[in-house]
C-alpha cells in the first residue's frame, strides 16, 4: 500500500509479443482481486508488436521511445492503448511512489 493508502501495480511486458495476453490477463486478475487498486500494463521492446492486433483493455501503455526504435506508428496500435514518453521513466516513477512491480 502506498503512503496515501492507495494500491498501485505496474505489470511490465517487454520481451515477446505473445506475453502481452498473459500480462493483460494478469492485470485483469489483479483488478478482480483488488478492485480498489490501480493496475497499469507497461509495454516496451519486442512486446510492442503485440499491440497492433486484437483488443486491449484500458490501462495498457506503450513506450514512445520503443515505438520509434521499432518503426511502429502509434496510429497502428489498438485504439485504447495510451502512448507514454518512456517506459523506463514510468516504471521507476511508479516504484518510487510505492507501486508493486510484476515482470511478465
Mean pLDDT of 39-58: 84
**For residue 6, what pLDDT is reported?**
84
The answer to whether residue 3 is domain-embedded is: no
Write the pLDDT tens digit of every residue in 84-101: 999 999 999 999 999 999
Mean pLDDT of 63-71: 96
Can you point out the beta strands (E) in the chain? 8-13, 38-43, 60-63, 82-84, 100-103
Q: What is the CATH number of the domain that holds 47?
A: 3.40.1260.10
The answer to whether residue 44 is domain-embedded is: yes
Q: Flag whether the pTM goes above 0.85.
A: yes
Write the pLDDT tens digit of every residue in 12-22: 999 998 899 89
Range of the domain at 88: 8-103
What is the CA 4 to chain-centroid distance, rounded?
22
Decide if 77 contacts 83 (C-beta within 8 A). Answer: yes
Q: How many structural domains are present in the chain?
A: 1
Amino acid at each position: 500500500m502506498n503512503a496515501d493508502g492507495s494500491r498501485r501495480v505496474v505489470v511490465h511486458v517487454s520481451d515477446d509479443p505473445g506475453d502481452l495476453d498473459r500480462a493483460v490477463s494478469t492485470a485483469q486478475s489483479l483488478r478482480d482481486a483488488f478492485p480498489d487498486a490501480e493496475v497499469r500494463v507497461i509495454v516496451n521492446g519486442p512486446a510492442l508488436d503485440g499491440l497492433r492486433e486484437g483488443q486491449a483493455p484500458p490501462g495498457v501503455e506503450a513506450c514512445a521511445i520503443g515505438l520509434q526504435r521499432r518503426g511502429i506508428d502509434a496510429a497502428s496500435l489498438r485504439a485504447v492503448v495510451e502512448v507514454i514518453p518512456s517506459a523506463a521513466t514510468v516504471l521507476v516513477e511508479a516504484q518510487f511512489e510505492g507501486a508493486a512491480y510484476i515482470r511478465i
